Amino acid sequence: MEPIPLPSHIHYELLLQLLERQTRFAVGPHSPQREQVNQLIVMLRKALSQQKQLEASCDREKIPVDYRWSLNMPRDVPPDGVREASPQENRPSDVASLQEKPPA
């Protein structure tokens, strides 16, 4: 079975930190926007909690999860970002062109 793509937890954590440390402070303690920011923080915490429940469900069912850092991540690149080169990419002419030329 194909892995289920899910956002990496760091996306939630970064948003929560921004909202809790900077946005909440910037709107002021008695502004009407303060309650909206608080509601947004609660919604993000719930979303992360629901994702963790989905991950646990996938784990019980032996369904792999693919944590994504970006929508633009190619499917053939593993999450660690290291991809084996294809035979075409290992051609000697390609390697030679990448090597530094000695000073003249």
**45-68 pLDDT, tens per residue?**
999 999 999 999 999 999 999 999
List CB contacts of 23: < 8 A, sequence separation 6 or more.
37
Report the amino acid identity of residue 19: L
Residues 71-102 pLDDT 10s: 886 555 555 554 444 333 333 343 333 334 44
Residues 28-41 pLDDT 10s: 889 999 999 999 99
CA distance 87 to 65: 29
Query: Average pLDDT over the chain, rounded to whole?
Result: 79
Q: Which two tokens stand for residue 73?
A: 């991540």
Confidence category of residue 1, pLDDT binned at 50, 70, 90: confident
SS3 label, residue 87? helix
pTM value is: 0.65
